[in-house]
Amino acid sequence: MANDKRVVRSDLWLDPVFDARLAQERDVSLGVFTVRGAPAAAWDLLSLAHVYHVSAAKDELPREWFVSGELLARCPQLLAVSSSGAGYDTVDVDACTAAGVAVMNQAGGNAVSVAEHTLAMMLGISRRMIECDRRMRREQGFTREDVMGHEIHGKTVGLVGLGHVGSRVAALAKAFGMDVIAADPLLREGEIVRRGARSVTLDQLLAQADIVSLHCPRDATTLKMIDARAFARMKQGAIFITTARGGIHDEQALVEALRSGHLAGAGVDVWDREPPPLDHPLLAMDNVFASFHIAGVTHECRRNVASMAAEQIAQVLAGGRPPRLVNPEVWPRFEERRARLLA
């Protein structure tokens, strides 16, 4: 790593377009460390890094390589942290801001894939496709009417969050003839309308929606936001879907809402622990469409996100401001550090 500007990433899988894009920068070098088995070599790379491209997969990346206060203290030349996804659960943003380190994510890069997965869950649960598939594999003698579902046409979908993903879900839902309502405290009513939804409060959304779908970030304001009270406010026979982040909904409260029959079904792509244990009660329910945080795991999405990340890193190292800056308040100090460290 003899070049002036040093980028480091782990050996967890990443689309090759990331390395190829950075290789086009003549003054940027890329180092790759193994997450298991060679910590000294990893620290040798990280301690000299200007940018650390960190995996956003909290249950795949060993905690030693999370961006914590301890890691920042051992990496005095670190200017920026680049998350491998829209989320940044592996990054202590406050610690980065205090250290003058910019945090970048890839918000929007997964929007198409996650929106498609959300619609697939809506259809799969509403039409009882997953339940029918499972029963056909283990039993005979049931009738088609035993697994009769509902059309989503004409139903109301409530989107909690109307950012990159939520806006795309709104467009797809409208194409299926659905009524779209949304609650997003970060957007004015006019902007929510412009993005294809009718603006409501969260309580109104829970009470009115036939399908409630989460598309909000996980932070201090949303942790366990969808709890037992929230599930109780949902319509009898409603469907709950989340492709957002584990921890925004209370898993045990969801179990109880399904067991009681209050909810007709659920689509769960994100979990408190990923993957969930095999004895998780949600996995035993035929009316639950379970997936392993794969809504954004498509070839197209992974390639798009890796390309976005590399482009943003190159832009920052060339003196630009990243378009997806998570902690904008760090910028004045970051610029001072960048001028000094890359002089």
What DSSP state is assigned to residue 87?
-
- Contact (CB, 8 A) for 331 and 100: no
Q: CA 293, CA 275: separation in Å to the nearest integer?
A: 8
Q: Is 293 a catalytic residue?
A: yes
Which of 6, 117, 293, 338 is catalytic? The answer is 293
Q: Which amino acid is at 12?
A: L
Name the phi and psi angles at 201, rounded to 5: -80, 165
Task: Assign 6 to helix, strand or coil.
Answer: strand
Which of 21, 195, 245, 249 is catalytic? The answer is 245
Which is nearest to 125 in space by CA: 235, 230, 211? Answer: 211
Name the phi and psi angles at 301, rounded to 5: -65, -45
Is the Cα torsion angle 75, 77, 79, 85 positive or negative in sign? Answer: negative
Q: Which two tokens stand for residue 114?
A: 């996650």
Enumerate residues 6+ apart whose C-beta is below 8 A from 189. Answer: 199
What DSSP state is assigned to residue 36?
S
Which is nearest to 306 in space by CA: 126, 158, 174, 110? Answer: 110
Bridge-partner residues for 81, per DSSP?
Answer: 52, 103
Task: Assign 7 to helix, strand or coil.
Answer: strand
Q: CA 287, CA 126: separation in Å to the nearest integer?
A: 9
Q: Is 259 a catalytic residue?
A: no
341: left (phi > 0), else alpha (psi -120 to 50), else beta?
alpha
Q: Is 60 a catalytic residue?
A: no
Question: How does DSSP assign 164-183, residue by residue?
Answer: HHHHHHHHHHHHTT-EEEEE
What DSSP state is assigned to residue 242?
E
Which of 116, 256, 274, 335 is catalytic? The answer is 274
Q: What is the largest CA-CA distance in the chain?
A: 75
Residues that are catalytic: 245, 274, 293
